A and B are shown apart, each in its own frame.
Chain A
Amino acid sequence: EPEVTQTPSHQVTQMGQEVILRCVPISNHLYFYWYRQILGQKVEFLVSFYNNEISEKSEIFDDQFSVERPDGSNFTLKIRSTKLEDSAMYFCASSGQGRREQFFGPGTRLTVL
């Protein structure tokens, strides 16, 4: 069964460094999303992406964040200058034509020191 994959599973970085989190959505899906979950808290929406542009973003998704689909398979989240409070689990998701059901990846745990 097709699934969303994410790499790396765990990333440790120093405050102020740039990080890129990678996701491979399900191959025929057209809608892509990033969510984050700070430890012990709920899952929060960051951004949705369709047709090579952002379709919606939350207040969390400020100028430090960017997303890109650099090729036909990858979907990336870049954090330009990481802060301690960026430490969280980041989930990628994708959906097909129906859009309303999203398939989540296993997550990348980001630790900012």
Chain B
Amino acid sequence: AQSVTQLGSHVSVSEGALVLLRCNYSSSVPPYLFWYVQYPNQGLQLLLKYTSAATLVKGINGFEAEFKKSETSFHLTKPSAHMSDAAEYFCAVSGEGGGFKTIFGAGTRLFVKA
């Protein structure tokens, strides 16, 4: 069965510093991978997705992620953090099983210090 592991339930960075949120996945089929952001009391906003094309994926708000099959990873990065990036980030995988459900990681809360 597919699964997602996000390393670090909380990550704290200074404004302007590099953001790195880690995600490892497990899948018996070529995966589709996603990063979502969730602000307090709001829904899920898709940041970016990997769907078997380019391994380096660029998303909204300056975020990008690289699919590394050998490492089964899909880490999310942003060169320079902004205060508005403070939120919960979820990595997710889909593609396995007849229902093609999406499996979410536990989430990483990003704090940005001034």
Contacts of B104 in A (CB 8 A): 42-44
The chain A residue with its CB closest to the CB of B4 is A42
Q: Is the CB of B100 within 8 A of A100?
A: yes
B44 vs chain A, min Cβ distance (A): 5
How far apart are the CA atoms of A33 and B51 in the complex, in Å?
Answer: 20
Identify B94's interface contact among A41, A44, A50, A102, CB under 8 A: A102
Q: Is the CB of B100 within 8 A of A95?
A: yes
Q: Is the CB of A48 within 8 A of B100?
A: yes
Contact with A along B96-108 (1 / 0, CB 8 A): 0111111111110
What is the number of residues of chain A that contact chain B, defined by CB distance less than 8 Å? 25
B82 at the A interface (CB under 8 A): no
Q: Is the CB of A45 within 8 A of B101?
A: yes
Most chain-A CB neighbours within 10 Å: which of B36, B90, B104, B105? B104
Most chain-B CB neighbours within 10 Å: which of A91, A93, A102, A107? A102
A99 at the B interface (CB under 8 A): yes
A56 at the B interface (CB under 8 A): yes
Q: Is the CB of A55 within 8 A of B99?
A: yes
Q: Is the CB of A105 within 8 A of B32?
A: no
How far apart are the CA atoms of A109 and B41 in the complex, in Å?
Answer: 9
How far apart are the CA atoms of A21 and B89 in the complex, in Å?
Answer: 26
Which residues in chain A, 36-52, are within 8 Å of chain B measured between CB atoms? Answer: 41-45, 48, 50
A31 at the B interface (CB under 8 A): yes
Contact with A along B24-37 (1 / 0, CB 8 A): 00000000101010
Q: Is the CB of B98 within 8 A of A55?
A: yes
List 3 A-B pairs, minimum CB-CB distance, nearest first: A56-B99, A48-B99, A106-B43
Instruction: Please name 19 pairs of A and B residues whose Cβ atoms are closer than 8 Å in the assembled complex, sorted by A.
Output: A31-B100, A33-B101, A42-B90, A42-B104, A43-B102, A43-B104, A45-B101, A45-B103, A48-B99, A48-B101, A50-B99, A56-B97, A56-B98, A101-B34, A101-B94, A104-B36, A104-B46, A106-B42, A107-B44
